[in-house]
A and B are shown apart, each in its own frame.
Chain A
Amino acid sequence: MHEPIRSQLEDILQGRLRAGQKESVEAHLAGCGDCAAELREMRLYSGAIRALRATDVPEPSAGFYARVIQRVEANGRPSFWNLLLDPVFGRRLVYATGAMFLLMASFLLATTGGQPELARTPVEMMARPQATPAAMQTGFGEDVTRDRENFLTTMASFSD
């Protein structure tokens, strides 16, 4: 569509062109088939949309506001899935999961890191430097774990 028509399109469609404008538009359309065809279609669809104008519209029935509020309350009550899909709730869920993971990891480290490794067999125990008879004889009562291992070693090697 050419500029003379495009720039005045709304006035043309509304029939609000002044006398001078109308003549120049008509002159252009007489010589430009493309503009004339496009304008004809636009006018047609403009009319079709105008057919959507409602006349004799029924008023909302009594109690409309109360029904709106009921709808608001119904829509406002979140379902379980809506809650999960809610971005704020989802973000909080991620933070809470992360915090829980950190807490559990630090608990595991604290409880397993300080434990001395116990010998599984008497041979293992005896292979350890502190498990020598000399070591066994000194410092009894200072380290309960070592004392227990020494005792178990003695008991296990008793039959030998």
Chain B
Amino acid sequence: MSGMTGILDFPAAGSEPRVRAKVEVNREEESALVRRVQNGDEMAFRDLVERYQSKVFSIIYGILRNHNDAEDIAQQVFAKVYFSIRNFDFRSSLLTWIYKITVNECYDYLRKKKVRKLVYESDFSEDDAMMMENSGAAVDPGMPIDEVLAQRDLAVKLLEKISEEDRSLLLLKEVEGHSVEELAGMTGMNENTIKVKLFRARQKLVKAAQRLGRLPGRLALGQ
């Protein structure tokens, strides 16, 4: 069984870092806030922006790693929220809904500007590298910086190849660290449905990687 460690490299239970920008809102309070915004209450909209701006910023920054882009896209996200909130039907949580809008905006931006390479190869300054080395909690601390960058680049590219729903679900799971139970509560689906959707999304990622013909550093190095 010792040979299994290469295949089943189990992370220690509970070791998963929880780096979510906390947005603690109960559903009733959230519904009341949404209804006020739907009725044109500008103070409620201000409240919504202030409540979710850090979260939106962290999602965008995680994908794009550029403060100016994050600011610009965050503004666009909240403008979309303002115009679309009438269509919010309370089936999912407000956070899940805003999360989807945010991720879609990021990918629209990447598609329009064709900056996928630029994000990690040209815009990445020494300061960014220093900050990443010092912060490093999100990834394996021992991982070289160029490998971290290669992984991020690969993740962005692979996520681009799958549907919006799959993409949001995987990001909520892996980046936000939500459990299957939490995702079920947030999306209004049952746990089995979430598990099946996650499995299919992961399969699509594998196929997308095969189509790209690209493997990240570790695999390429034979680990």
Interface residue total, chain B, C-beta cutoff 8 A: 73
Q: Complex Cα distance A7/B173, Å?
A: 16
Residues of A94-152 whose CB lies within 8 A of B = none
- Contact call B199/A64, Cβ cutoff below 8 A: no
Given contacts A14-B16, A26-B8, A58-B57, contact A50 B199 (CB under 8 A): no
Kindly list chain A residues whose C-beta atoms are within 8 Å of the C-beta of B1: 26, 30
B17 touches A53 (CB 8 A): yes
A12 proximity list for chain B (CB < 8 A): 8, 10
- The answer to whether B138 touches A67 (Cβ under 8 A) is no
Bound-state Cα–Cα, A14 to B13, Å = 7
How many contacting A-B pairs (Cβ < 8 A)?
166
Q: B195 to A39, Cβ gap below 8 A?
A: no
B62 and A15 within 8 A (CB): no
Seen from chain A, the residues whose Cβ lies within 8 Å of a Cβ on chain B are 1, 6-7, 9-10, 12, 14-17, 22, 25-26, 29-30, 36, 38-61, 64-65, 67-68, 71-72, 75-76
> In the complex, given contacts A52-B156, A71-B76, what are 7 additional A-B residue pairs having Cβ atoms less than 8 angstroms apart?
A15-B16, A45-B154, A51-B152, A58-B57, A58-B67, A59-B54, A71-B79
- CB<8 Å pairs between A and B, sample of 19: A9-B195, A14-B11, A15-B11, A15-B12, A15-B13, A42-B202, A42-B205, A43-B9, A44-B219, A45-B206, A51-B138, A54-B58, A55-B19, A55-B132, A57-B21, A59-B57, A60-B57, A71-B76, A72-B78
